[in-house]
Structure 1
């Protein structure tokens, strides 16, 4: 399976529906005030870098990095298409985002995720990559529906299986082969 990862800079109907489905998936996991996923309009704002993974020209996953403070960004809107879960899309996205962040001098990535069983696979992925539990960051507050995690990039452990990697990442200098 070849996974191609590119930076997204414009909305498409396919991407809009994919991210709307993400928001719908999250509705039963927590009350509205405890859900922090971003819609497409906010993911395309300045200061946010949205990426999409494609498999056989089909949208397979999304993830974004949003600036928090110098050298610290937040991972947002990590989602894999239900039909492709468990096949390495999330791992490839996470590895590509870390490569992108490193190339730009980012030293720390933090995230907020849910505590419901729905998020079990994500918890496992983040733990495997070296994320540790942390205090709420940015404008977040303690919430029983939220788990806060952070990763110092010098402690990152690649999550994709060993062997050749496929894909591209839009870097600040142009499209380059991903190094995850």
Structure 2
């Protein structure tokens, strides 16, 4: 699998992100939905990667730099054809390595709290993320789960 920085211009990647945002909007109340659209992912503090198997898009992930020592996982998504085949684990390992190489002390994330999000929460727990309180600009929300991992 090839994981590469992506410029967010390809139709397959844009389609995956549009599907992601729509599904997150269906699963969370509007004021608790924190998925970023393509325009928001193009900000300079965000690095976005796509994952490819041959010419087929398998998934994506982004890191938002909150400060020089703290990153946030954004837009982690596997395409429908590649679910259950280890793509999310590969993407997560990739951004953990990238975060360490950037010198981050901590990597955090926000995800939903409903049963729909449970597989994601379990994946993050398997990799050593721990539940925490809100970080950055987030506020406590019963529809959100906040997790963090020390990288040192």
**Which residue is 1:133 aligned to?**
131
**Which residue is 1:101 aligned to?**
99
**Which residue is 1:73 aligned to?**
71
User: How far did residue 56 of structure 1 move?
Assistant: 2.6
**Which residue is 1:146 aligned to?**
144
**Which residue is 2:7 aligned to?**
9
TM-score between the two structures when normalised by the length of structure 1: 0.81
Q: Distance in 2 between matches of 1:135 and 1:68?
A: 16
SS of 1:112's partner is: strand
Q: Which runs of 4+ in 1 moved over 4 A?
A: none
TM-superposition CA deviations, 1:33-83 (whole Å, max 9, x none)? 100010111112101010111123111111100011221010000100122
Which has the higher relative contact order, 1 or 2, with Cα contacts under 8 A spaced 6 or more apart?
1
Q: Distance in 1 between matches of 2:16 and 2:133?
A: 30
Q: Distance in 2 between matches of 1:140 and 1:101?
A: 21
**Which residue is 1:165 aligned to?**
none
User: How far did residue 88 of structure 1 move?
Assistant: 0.5
Match of 1:47 among 45, 48, 72: 45
**Which residue is 2:114 aligned to?**
116
Q: Distance in 1 between matches of 2:45 and 2:69?
A: 13
**Which residue is 1:166 aligned to?**
none
RMSD of Structure 2 on Structure 1 (CA): 1.0
User: How far did residue 9 of structure 1 move?
Assistant: 2.4
TM-superposition CA deviations, 1:98-147 (whole Å, max 9, x none)? 11111111121000000111111101110000000001001100111000
SS of 1:42's partner is: helix
1:62 partnered with 2:60:
yes
Larger Rg: 1
